[in-house]
Amino acid sequence: MSDSKKNTTPPSSGITRRSALKGFAATGAAAAAAQVAPGAVRYVQAQTSEPLKLGFQVHRTGIGAAYGRWYERVVNACVAEINANGGIAGRQIEIVAEDDGTDPKRGAEMVEKFATQHGVDIAFGTLFSHVVMGSAPRAGELKLPYYVVSEGYHVASGALNRYTFQPGITDVRSQVMSMAPWVAGNLGKKVTMIYPDYAFGHDHRDYFSEAMKKQGGEIVELIPIPPTETSYTKYFPKIPSSTEVLYHVMVGPGVLTFVKELGEHFGSNRPELFGFIDSLEAVPLASPGLEFLEGTYFWEGYPRYAQPDQTPYDKHYRQAVGVNDDGASVNDPKDISTYSHMFGCWETLYTIKQAVEASGYKGPKDKAALVEATEAITDIPWSNQHPQGDKVFNGKMHQVFGHQNISQVANARLDVVHRTSIEDGMYENDTDYTKMPL
């Protein structure tokens, strides 16, 4: 049902669009409309054996395609596993995947399509922040539970709505602030930051600066890079000589050029380098031009390379998804995964399973109960269902908090040198979605 108001307070008299639609049902026009009629009608007679339909909003094309490809593989693997083990509350999962082109307008249309044409129970999987921001209002107004896997701070910031959750991946604010104690304690306290000059970069700038100051550190220079930039040489002279740590987060196709030019600028006499693996997701570390990164450090949400202390959960997850110990596809070792992010889809699906089963969800009429059951989740144990690590879900913020990893590039692979505590990434704010009406 597209009109949220009507859901709760149906008009008592007069001709409404809905009643007119019913009136036309016997006509040829309605016959045509029936092809695109909402699935909600069918759920009136829904049996619990009917598949649980999950709308998967995937970036198959556009700037998010590399991530989207792997998100889809993880989703398919996870759904196969859940279905093989009896599904969710005894119902098999049916995935309805739609490409949003990594575009916020198309994303919003996808959410509408999920809710009203496909009649899905739940939508999930959105990655890029602008697509989440463009889509989430529609999910909220259509009262469609919407589980994003984005790492943006948008959910916890309170900008979205009661129906939007991020239970499978930590947000950038949490990630960034949890890095600061280790960076200040091990690499240096005078930091220059290079970041893309848009919202994602600004979150890094703001929250890392704040966290470093708490550690007694100092941001000696901020160097924003315009998103249209293709060469970075002219920015490097702005790096003060007092810099002890160069913090870099560059996303997009320019990253190889960035690293190459950075190497040419510094030569062998470089400060410590700390970056975010977002720059190099789906990129082989052995790529020509990346040699300069040897010995430098990266944030990893989930270590790409299997570590000596690999858990059975990680082993299970890699095997299920088809990823080898180097974070590449088992079918094509050159096809590098987006390992630090894609686990979010796996964990989100298991969180959905947990919430659906806890709420006794049978159909759309139980969506409010599903929302409340998700909000009631607190501790999430380290397990096959949550292979990245144990987590704490904040029901008020609709955001999960977890461990982060700091890895060093050694012999063109990444070795974890530090794993943060969940508390390192915890913060407080005023967000309380539970006060919003359902």
Q: Count CB atoms within 10 A of the CB of residue 203.
A: 23
| Binding flag, residue 197, other proteins (CB under 8 A) | yes
Tell me how far, at minimum, the Cβ of 348 lies from other proteins, in Å: 20
The residue (of 36 and 44) whose beta carbon lies closer to other proteins is 36
Radius of gyration over alpha carbons of the chain, in Å?
Answer: 23
Tell me how far, at minimum, the Cβ of 56 lies from other proteins, in Å: 13
| Binding flag, residue 437, other proteins (CB under 8 A) | no
DSSP result, 297-310: EEEESS-SSPPTT-
Both tokens assigned to 204:
């890094």
Q: 52 - beta bridge partners? A: 93
The residue (of 143 and 386) whose beta carbon lies closer to other proteins is 143
Of 29-37, 82-90, 387-395, 419-427: span binding other proteins (CB under 8 A):
29-37
- Give CA separation, 171 vs 118, 207, 317, 412, 426, in Å: 30, 11, 22, 27, 10
Q: Is 209 helix (H, G, I), strand (E, B) or coil?
A: helix
Residues 326-355 that bind other proteins (CB under 8 A): none
Q: Count CB atoms within 10 A of the CB of residue 66.
A: 16
Residue 168 and residue 386 in contact, taking contact as beta carbons nearer than 8 Å = no
| Binding flag, residue 227, other proteins (CB under 8 A) | yes
Which is nearest to 344 in space by CA: 150, 129, 113?
150
From 202, 213, 238, 365, residue interacting with other proteins (rule: CB under 8 A): 202
Tell me how far, at minimum, the Cβ of 413 lies from other proteins, in Å: 32
| Binding flag, residue 365, other proteins (CB under 8 A) | no
| Binding flag, residue 368, other proteins (CB under 8 A) | no
Q: CA quadruple 286, 335, 301, 430: dihedral positive or negative?
A: positive
Burial class (CB in 10 A: 0-12, 13-18, 19+), 295: exposed
| Binding flag, residue 109, other proteins (CB under 8 A) | yes
From 53, 73, 91, 130, residue interacting with other proteins (rule: CB under 8 A): 130
| Binding flag, residue 108, other proteins (CB under 8 A) | yes
The residue (of 58 and 356) whose beta carbon lies closer to other proteins is 58
From 53, 73, 91, 154, residue interacting with other proteins (rule: CB under 8 A): 154
From 46, 66, 89, 199, residue interacting with other proteins (rule: CB under 8 A): 199
The residue (of 87 and 152) whose beta carbon lies closer to other proteins is 152
| Binding flag, residue 60, other proteins (CB under 8 A) | yes
Tell me how far, at minimum, the Cβ of 38 lies from other proteins, in Å: 5
From 99, 121, 171, 278, residue interacting with other proteins (rule: CB under 8 A): 99
Tell me how far, at minimum, the Cβ of 306 lies from other proteins, in Å: 31
Both tokens assigned to 227:
């998103």
From 200, 235, 393, 433, residue interacting with other proteins (rule: CB under 8 A): 200
- Residue partners of 81: CB distance under 8 A and separation at least 6: 320
Of 109-117, 185-193, 316-324, 328-336: span binding other proteins (CB under 8 A):
109-117
Of 105-113, 239-247, 351-359, 369-377: span binding other proteins (CB under 8 A):
105-113
Beta-sheet strands, E only, within 109-244: 122-124, 146-147, 164-165, 190-196, 218-225
Burial class (CB in 10 A: 0-12, 13-18, 19+), 256: middle
| Binding flag, residue 42, other proteins (CB under 8 A) | no
CA distance 76 to 342: 12
The label of the residue with tokens 């630090």 reads 340
Which is nearest to 248 in space by CA: 296, 319, 302, 184?
296
Tell me how far, at minimum, the Cβ of 108 lies from other proteins, in Å: 6
The residue (of 41 and 286) whose beta carbon lies closer to other proteins is 41
How do 391-394 and 245-248 pair as beta strands? unpaired
- Residue partners of 100: CB distance under 8 A and separation at least 6: 57, 58, 59, 62, 106, 107, 109, 110, 126, 131, 135
From 46, 50, 51, 61, residue interacting with other proteins (rule: CB under 8 A): 61
The residue (of 36 and 84) whose beta carbon lies closer to other proteins is 36
How do 52-58 and 93-99 pair as beta strands? parallel
Q: 247 - beta bridge partners? A: 193, 274
**How many residues bind to other proteins according to rule CB under 8 A?**
58
The residue (of 153 and 292) whose beta carbon lies closer to other proteins is 153
Tell me how far, at minimum, the Cβ of 59 lies from other proteins, in Å: 10
The site for other proteins (CB under 8 A) is made up of: 1-6, 16-17, 20-21, 24, 27, 29-30, 32-38, 60-61, 98-99, 101, 103-106, 108-109, 112-113, 115-117, 129-130, 133-134, 136-138, 141, 152, 154, 159-161, 197-200, 202, 226-228
